[in-house]
Structure 1
Amino acid sequence: GALRAGAGLVTLASPSDALAVNAAALTAVMVRAVDNAIQFADLLNDRRLNTSVIGPGAGVGPRTRDFVHTALAAKRNLVLDADALTSFADAPERLFEAIKASDGAQVVLTPHEGEFPRLFSDISNKHPGRSKLERVRAAAERSGAVVLLKGPDTVVAAPDGRATIAS
């Protein structure tokens, strides 16, 4: 995915116990052992790495939340999906505060319709008549991130209200 999109360098942060499997399967990318937030912070010190993606397969819980906070503290661009989003389901405002405090980092949240209410339950539940576009704009404004709500008609909105629909 990232290489096809034009990334010049892709490095996979892999748990140590999966390093050999990932290295054998991913011959076009660099693989580095990362088992905790301290090691992830060390990886982020490499200035060639300007965007992180955290989500699928990361696991739901405090470790993934720590990785997200580490990436935000490093003021790096960040895409959050799947497990990274669900890890903040019990306290989405903590994520939004950290995004807003990251000052300068571009953050993209990429939920599908099932994940969206985990972070934005009031936007989803209190206003059932709102269009998908209105919901995504409200979510982007609240979170301080670009929100990309996946689906047959994917809606992307920025915190400043700009939005687009791709079908």
Structure 2
Amino acid sequence: MRKPKKLTALLLALTLLFACAACGSGNSTTDSGKTISGTLPEIIDRLYDTVDVDDEQRDFLKNSVGTVEIPKDQSAYYFGVENLDFEEAVASEPLINAIAFSVCLMRVKDGTDIDELKAEIRRSANPAKWICVDVNPNDVRVESVGDLVLLIMADDSEKYSEAFYALAE
């Protein structure tokens, strides 16, 4: 009877080992350990410098959009999720405009389950948060590189996603 107990103990130990490994994988970064260096406003500026848009949109990004710090108690407005616990976050939105456009960048805390956070933001972000204008729900994207999570609500959002991933080192 000793062999079945040892075998059972070994199988239980292996099961626990694999379970722990699976739990740990949820905290890993989404883009293969790559990072994007710089402050959050610098990253937004580089994103806008490299995104593939026409001259009119580039002028809009340079002259009509401002970047502001997001206080934690305002995370629901920007990300759709109440009281997010992040290191820092910024929003880049038109100062005064009738165009629905929002790019929000967050640096998450160590140990954050980024995939779970992205799914929660994807479910909760409000593409109609503005008065009289909205973004097509298909143009809402949540991306991540390293400890950065980017929410894009804009026409041609895939272009901003591509530019964000191109910044990764």
TM-score by length of structure 2 reads 0.30
Between Structure 1 and Structure 2, the one with more helix by share is 2
Structure with higher RCO (Cα < 8 A, 6+ apart): 2
- The structure number with the bigger radius of gyration is 2
TM-score by length of structure 1 reads 0.30
